[in-house]
Amino acid sequence: MPPKTMFEKIWDDHVVAEEPGEPPIIYIDLHLVHEVTSPQAFDGLRDAGRKVRRLDLTIATADHNTPTWDLSPPVTDEFSQEAVGRP
């Protein structure tokens, strides 16, 4: 068997299930999520009937739709309001 790259070794250690014609299911040690692309990822899990296995290892930040220096004015963009959960 040829030697494996570090990526291949780590990947192989984290594969939970592989079904023909489906993407592999892998175990994620730590979830770092934000408000821009994470909703689509969680929708994909929900649509597939899967859940995040370790919610205690999920850290979320609202960093793309929030003001960077003055937090007192309201967030005016509707998408951003929904993403960060405040007007």
**Stretches in the chain below the pLDDT threshold 70:** 83-87
- Mean pLDDT, the chain, as a whole number? 84
Residue 12 lies in a domain: no
Residue 54 lies in a domain: yes
- How many domains does the chain contain in total? 1
Residues in contact with 54: Cβ distance below 8 Å, sequence separation at least 6, in sequence order: 31
Residue 10 lies in a domain: no
CA distance 13 to 3: 15
Query: What pTM, to 2 d.p., does this model score?
Result: 0.56
At residue 86, the pLDDT reads 56
Domain span including residue 86 = 30-87
